[in-house]
Structure 1
């Protein structure tokens, strides 16, 4: 379950992208949400986000950003 979810824009409206910060299972994550919907994990280094976590992130971004 994602906790303490925060996001901020990386660029501007013409070049969208967001930096996400959150905790999941006692692990702190920093993730870049790219304009095409792909996710790039920054912290922890080289972590691979599982499918369920990626779906939760997509749902949160749809709710908060694309409302």
Structure 2
């Protein structure tokens, strides 16, 4: 389960898509960039392959809910 999920626009012009995000998972902080296409670029502490698909899916769902709602 993701904890303390946060996001903010990449650019000061909020009409340009792209967001920085961060969250905690298993007491580890993860950060990345979420692109308009749904692509995720992990910035720090790339998740292990076993968790990658589940975490990417959760980030995608949260971004759809918060940004595109």
Into which bin does the TM-score normalised by the smaller protein fall? 0.7 to 0.9
Match of residue 9 from structure 1: 9
Name whichever structure is richer in strand by fraction.
1
- CA RMSD, Structure 1 to Structure 2 (Å): 1.3
Gaps of 5+ in 2: none
Name whichever structure is richer in helix by fraction.
2
Kindly provide the CA deviation profile for residues 28-61 of structure 1, in whole angstroms up to 9, marking residues without a partner as x. 01110012110000011xx256111111001100
Q: Structure 1-normalised TM-score?
A: 0.87
Moved over 3 A (4+): none
1:42 aligns with 2:20: no
Question: How far apart, CA to CA, are the structure 1 residues paired with 2:19 and 2:54?
Answer: 20
